[in-house]
Amino acid sequence: MNGIINLLKPPGMTSHDVVAVIRRLTNVKRTGHTGTLDPGAAGVLPICVGQATRVAEYVLAMDKSYRAELTLGSATDTEDGSGKIVAERAVPAMTVVHIQTVLTQFLGKRMQTPPMYSAVRIDGEKLYERARRGETVERPARPIDIYQIELIRIGENTILFDVTCSRGTYIRTLCCEIAQALGTVGHMSYLIRTHVGPFQLEDALSLEECASRQAAGELENAMLSVDAALINLPMLSVSAEDAVRVINGIAVPLPTIVAEGTLVRVYGPKQEFLAVSLVEQGRVQPRKVFHSR
């Protein structure tokens, strides 16, 4: 069984918990997720099964979209609703125009410091493990990119917004930064991931649906193909003769103009997916082969 499950992660489970459920359902040991969602968050969590685990790194690098709720007036140690309140501040009067103006200030490339309650490793230990011991350590800021941010609704001391961003963006931290820019403090009170690259929320399967499809022998048919994770890579087709070479890990001539150093997905004459390859010195050098003879 090989493929990618576009899974709807429920709130209250860790991403690893979800992987364990899918591993038991499929009885495939090589199963993994493609980017952690906080236990309290829900939404799209692509799960790679079997050979598909070899493309997980490409899914990790994909852009992601979220719908988030920011509650103003109280900050927590975890930056979300699961933590202890560590600060409170009055919420100033705000207009829709003012909030929209503040949100647009966060568009584009910037640096963001990961929260203490995160899985980032420093000196070989996850930050949340140190945070649980009451420690606070210096965390290097990391580059992120906010492509789109849109105000959806204003409630009583709450702001609901949509955001599309690069890998590594912490929406919890973004919520705290927005609250600060609005002249108060805040925390993320709700989060759902609505898409990861081509994987959309409306197409995602719940764990219950996965279980029922597996019981009916239909789960594998519901999986997306391995190359579904590679749609951002240019596609190249090679001849039957060159397909044999690619399958055997041998470089072949570049069939069309592609920039040097570009990763590409290579297909055979019957549009069978063969490999992820790198364009080097005018040739296509296989890096990961997925089709065998």
- Catalytic center residues: 38
Sheet holding 273-280, edge to edge: 235-237, 263-267, 273-280, 283-289, 252-253
Q: What whole-number distance in Å separates Cα of residue 33 and Cα of residue 7?
A: 10
Torsional sign, CA 110, 113, 118, 121 = positive
181-214 burial string, b = 16+ CB within 10 Å, else e?
Answer: ebebbbbbbbbbbbbbbbbebeebbebeebbebb
DSSP, residue by residue, 22-70 = HHHHHT-S-EEESS---TT-EEEEEEEEGGGGGGHHHHHTS-EEEEEEE
Q: What whole-number distance in Å separates Cα of residue 196 and Cα of residue 178?
A: 23
Provide the token pair at 30.
Answer: 């090589």
From residue 256, give the alpha-carbon distance in Å to each of 237, 250, 253, 270, 274: 9, 18, 9, 18, 17
Q: Given the structure tokens 């082969």, which residue do they identify?
A: 289
List the Cα angle 145/148/153 in 5-degree steps: 130
Q: What whole-number distance in Å separates Cα of residue 89 and Cα of residue 174?
A: 18
Residue type for position 155: G
